[in-house]
A and B are shown apart, each in its own frame.
Chain A
Amino acid sequence: MSEDAGLYRTMRLIRRFEERSIELVHAGEIVGGIHPYIGQEAIAAGVCAALREDDIITSTHRGHGHVLAKGADPVRMLAELTGRATGLNQGRGGSMHAADFSKGIYGANGIVGAGGAIATGAAWAAVKEGSDRVAVSFFGDGAVSQGVLLETFNLAALWRLPVLFVCENNGYATTLTVAQSVAGSITGRAEAFGIPAVSVDGADATAVLDAARDAVARGRAGGGPSFIEATAYRFDAHHTWEHKARVRYRSDEEVAAGRSRDPLDVHGSRLDADVRAGIDAEVEALITEAVAYALDSPHPDPAGALDHLYATGLRGRDGIGLLDTAVR
């Protein structure tokens, strides 16, 4: 598959995964809801296309796109979202914590900005082991107001670590606009620490990939951290609860304008129509298989609700007598 076709396939996979997941939320098969990534697919696809399988990423609450683009199995990913024993995390993580360590995916994360320091520490470990692996931390525009992330920029720059910070600026931290939350500029945050920063069109997968390649090459060569701000529009809700809550913070006109520039069309138009149709069909079959697999998969046994609480297998005392976990 050509590079262009590969980028499109990743985006199409994320898009259809998200659309079907939203249906499964409404059908009650995915409890707790999801933070849809629709509209931002070019960012995950472009950045992850610049990475190797042994590179590391940390993701966000809106993490499905990153996890899929980095190579997690969409079938087991959907099983995770539906809380099944066959899920990536055996149903222990769900949408906000999906991870696949065998692919360098250190997990989606429920706390805004929390993945930055984790990725940077992993990058440090990669350097110490003598490898040229890099780590990428994805986060949104809301995260650039988190102190721990700014502290992390300082550590990464100070110690010249191979970490790429990718800020997906979709214009809103939940309902708060960037204008309401960011003094100065987003790239200025990184530049203040001497980290090379660029702003790219996050609806254009090729533009994102080009920027990511530069940054990754710099990291592998010992040139330290980089920062990419990728602007995009979130097509759907902050979280699927909005579908019922009907909170109003974006006008219909704004949403329509935002959706008019679809990253799948921006990049899809670079492919032959039959190539695109072929990918669409292949992805459709894969997603259909994923849904069937997830819904057919067994639910985890409640007796094991606290399995893996400790890596050492330590078991604490019972709380309410449901679990057979007494130490005595």
Chain B
Amino acid sequence: MARLSYLKALQRALSDEMGRDEAVCVLGEDIGVGVNNVTTGLLAKYGAQRVVDTPLSEQAFTSFATGAALAGLRPVIEFQIPSLLFLVFEQIANQAHKFSLMTGGQARVPVTYFVPGSGSRSGWAGQHSDHPYGLFAHVGVKTVVPATPEDAYGLFLTAIRDDDPVVLFAPAGALGVRADVDMDALGPVPLGVGRVHREGTDVTVVAVGHLVQAALAVAEQLADQISVEVFDPRTLHPFDWDGLAASVAKTGRLVVIDDSNRMCGIAGEILATAAEQMRLTVPPKRVTRPDGAVLPFARDLDLAVQPQQDQLLTAVQEVYKSSR
């Protein structure tokens, strides 16, 4: 076993895929020196033809990658800031994603977009702290939010190998996570397959990304009163509805914690699907950012609009009590 950090897992996945497949190349801003510590060392290892520092032209280089993918390459793009995805929404949602259907299956666009440090990084304020994974799931772009180092490795690998566009969010809150892993056992993790991090029988908690750690902490805190099952969907689209249904069939109670805005967020979709198709014994709850939240700068204000562990704890207790 070796100690693997989440960031190192991303770096290793990208480097391994570049080594395995010559078609894989990476584009982005300041990636030569690796300011986000994911592309570190890749320029020296694979050269400037495959590790391309781009001008600050997100819209152009995003569709540039689409063209390269249509012509046979497998580009990976690093975005330094999650909000840059708003800038390139046209290029991803309206161009890259639509080529396959619009051309009647003639074209494929295997591009991976990744954000090392999505959501709040504390103190980065309104325009650097969004978590827009729900937007991409909504329009149908494959959307991945790994919570652990081994999943970061495995899902990044799968995203790069996938023949469709995939957006991978690496939450800032997860970048520091470390785990003891068997390096030889690292491998691709399929899209659309969730993971139960902790089994339980009373309440299912669905946690997205870095909030898996919060959910595990709450489960531990409540261990002598409530048996909490922690379900990590790992990919939001496709979503492992069967995995969720199996968990809810056991517990009959559901709480979702999701670090994005409440209105039309992924938590709402999860609750709606559970209400339509699963047997819930009590009304479910969700812990999210408020409607239309913009993260304010000051630390206490920033924290006030992000879902917190104690809010999750209360929600789990309430859902559990309301059925007794």
Contact = CB atoms under 8 A, between A and B. Distances in A.
> A and B, one complex?
yes
Interface stretch (B1-9, B29-37, B63-71): B63-71
Contacts of A56: 71
Interface stretch (B100-108, B206-214, B249-257, B286-294): B100-108
22 contacts: A87-B104, A89-B104, A89-B106, A99-B103, A109-B95, A111-B94, A117-B60, A117-B63, A117-B66, A117-B67, A118-B63, A118-B95, A121-B71, A122-B68, A129-B71, A151-B57, A152-B64, A154-B60, A155-B61, A311-B109, A317-B241, A327-B238
B248 to A, nearest CB: 14
Interface of A: 56, 58, 87-93, 97, 99-102, 106-107, 109, 111, 114, 116-126, 128-129, 135, 147-148, 151-152, 154-155, 158, 306-312, 314, 316-317, 327-328
Contacts of B163: 310-312
A314 B192 CA distance: 10
Nearest to B57: A151
Nearest to B69: A121
A193 B141 CA distance: 34
Contacts of B25: 128
Given A117-B59, A312-B163, A312-B164, A125 B67 contact: yes
Nearest to A300: B104
A125 B105 CA distance: 21
B73 interface: yes
Contact of B60 (A107, A129, A152, A314): A152
A206 B242 CA distance: 63
B89 to A, nearest CB: 12
Interface residues of B, number: 48
A93 B54 CA distance: 32
B59 A148 contact: yes
Interface of B: 25, 49, 54-55, 57, 59-73, 75, 90-91, 94-95, 99-110, 140, 142, 162-164, 191-192, 237-238, 241-242
B103 A114 contact: no
A117 B70 CA distance: 12
Contacts of A155: 54-55, 57, 60-61, 64
Given A92-B102, A114-B95, A308-B100, A99 B68 contact: no
Contacts of B109: 311
B106 A101 contact: yes
A97 B60 contact: no
A311 B72 contact: no
Contacts of B55: 151, 154-155, 158
Given A117-B63, A309-B100, A312-B164, A106 B70 contact: yes
A191 B193 CA distance: 51
Given A90-B104, A92-B104, A151 B71 contact: no
Contacts of A58: 67
Contact of A101 (B57, B61, B103): B103
A115 to B, nearest CB: 9
Given A97-B102, A155-B64, 18 more contacts: A91-B104, A93-B103, A99-B103, A114-B63, A114-B95, A117-B64, A117-B67, A121-B67, A121-B70, A121-B71, A122-B71, A125-B73, A128-B73, A148-B91, A154-B57, A155-B54, A309-B140, A317-B241
Given A101-B107, A314-B238, A118 B59 contact: no
A307 B68 CA distance: 24
Given A128-B73, A154-B57, A327 B68 contact: no
Contacts of B54: 155
A231 to B, nearest CB: 26
A106 B59 contact: no
B105 A147 contact: no
B102 A148 contact: no
A107 B102 contact: yes
A120 B54 CA distance: 14
A124 B65 CA distance: 9
Nearest to A307: B105
Contacts of A154: 55, 57, 60
Contacts of B91: 114, 117, 148
Contacts of A328: 241-242
Given A111-B90, A311-B163, A93 B102 contact: yes
